[in-house]
């Protein structure tokens, strides 16, 4: 399949610009095999994730990256379902945990710890750095551990990770960073929608984002992929470009297909369901709550504004 057949162009960026590298970004599948309903369409989450994997297998990608929330809430049976889907993936898979993948005080099940996640869905450590084609992919945990952020779904990159990151970026020629939570310019787009929907709630945010962005900018990391808000969006914070990936679970159910080459990076949105499925996703997410309705309106506005950035 050609990239042009994938879907609309979300972004065209001058950097990174390595030797030819093709990769996919699959965000927030929220696989929940024992749940149904809500704006996440839990009864369809495995199907949508499977559809993403099947489509990616025909795209000749170097790797699949995920900014997390693989599961509904870190349930072992949902991780089993994720593994069964990934067994059919023909490319390496590198993820970072989302706020729904790590232990929380509210869990009524045994959520695996972050070290287990790193072994299962990464190179065995977190944070990490791996080569994907001509890119240095750097995975960072903003979602916490069994000891940190267990009482909140907010995100924060720890001081120790910032020190590690500065060292990792020192000799990274074409860095690309993967993290779950969003920088303020993207979060502010959600807050701004309160002018339209005053009662809309605000999803969890990244705390103390400036030091993280400053380390990235100083190390030449110009592009960060995030997830979390379940919609395509972009922003620039302290010299760092963020691309927020849509989710496979709720409208607009899709993943990102990315092509990096010496002339720059292009990003296309690839739906993982048909038109009827997209319509269902829009209807369910719009009606679920004031907040999910607001997020659906933002997603629709962003889709109508593609490409979101063209350099």
Tens of pLDDT, residues 194-209: 999 999 999 999 999 9
Tell whether the model's pLDDT for residue 300 goes beyond 50: yes
Per-residue confidence at 4, pLDDT binned at 50, 70, 90?
A: low
What does the alpha-carbon distance between residue 59 and residue 298 come to, in Å, rounded to a whole number? 29
Arithmetic mean of pLDDT over the chain = 96
Tell whether the model's pLDDT for residue 2 goes beyond 70: no
Q: Angle CA(41)–CA(42)–CA(47) in degrees, nearest 5?
A: 90
Q: What is the pLDDT of residues 109-133, one digit of tens each?
A: 999 999 999 999 999 999 999 999 9
Question: What 8-state DSSP symbol labels residue 204?
Answer: -
pTM here? 0.97
SS3 track for 222-270: CEEEECCCCCCEEEEECCEEEEECCECCCCCCEEEEEEEECCEEEEEEE
Q: Percent of the chain, pLDDT > 70? A: 98
Per-residue confidence at 3, pLDDT binned at 50, 70, 90?
A: low
Q: How many CB atoms lie within 10 A of CB 311?
A: 11
Q: Percent of the chain, pLDDT > 90? A: 97
Q: What is the CATH T-level fold of the domain 3-249+288-310, as seen in this structure?
A: Purple Acid Phosphatase; chain A, domain 2 (3.60.21)
- Per-residue model confidence (pLDDT) at position 6: 79
Q: Where are the domains of the chain?
A: 3-249+288-310
Both tokens of 9, joined, read 């162009």
SS3 track for 269-301: EEECCCHHHHHHHHHHHHHHCHHHHHHHHHHHH
238-251 mean pLDDT: 98
């Amino acid at each position: 399949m050609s990239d042009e057949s994938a879907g609309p162009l979300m972004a065209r960026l001058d950097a990174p610009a390595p030797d030819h590298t093709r990769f996919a970004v699959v965000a927030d599948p929220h696989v929940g095999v024992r749940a149904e309903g809500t704006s996440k369409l839990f009864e369809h989450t495995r199907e949508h994730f499977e559809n993403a994997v099947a489509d990616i297998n025909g795209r000749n990608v170097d790797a699949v990256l995920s900014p997390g929330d693989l599961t509904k809430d870190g349930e072992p049976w949902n991780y089993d379902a994720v593994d069964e889907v990934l067994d059919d993936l023909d490319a390496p898979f590198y993820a970072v945990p989302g706020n729904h993948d790590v232990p929380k005080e509210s869990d009524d099940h045994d959520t695996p710890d972050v070290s287990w996640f790193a072994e299962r869905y990464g190179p065995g450590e977190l944070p990490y750095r791996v080569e994907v084609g001509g890119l240095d992919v750097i995975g960072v945990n903003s979602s916490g551990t069994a000891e940190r952020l267990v009482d909140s779904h907010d995100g924060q990159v720890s001081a120790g990770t910032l020190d590690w990151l500065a060292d990792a970026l020192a000799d990274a020629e074409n860095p690309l960073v993967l993290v779950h939570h969003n920088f303020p310019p993207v979060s502010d787009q959600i807050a701004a929608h309160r002018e339209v929907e005053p009662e809309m709630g605000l999803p969890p945010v990244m705390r103390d984002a400036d030091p993280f962005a400053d380390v990235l900018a100083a190390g030449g990391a110009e592009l960060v992929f995030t997830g979390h808000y379940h919609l395509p969006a972009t922003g620039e914070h302290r010299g760092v470009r963020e691309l927020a990936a849509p989710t496979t679970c709720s409208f607009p159910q899709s993943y990102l297909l990315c092509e990096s080459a010496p002339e720059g990076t292009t990003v296309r949105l690839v739906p993982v369901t048909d038109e009827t499925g997209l319509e269902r996703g829009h209807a369910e997410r719009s009606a679920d709550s004031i907040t999910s309705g607001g997020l659906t309106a933002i997603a629709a506005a962003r889709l109508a504004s593609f490409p979101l950035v063209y350099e």
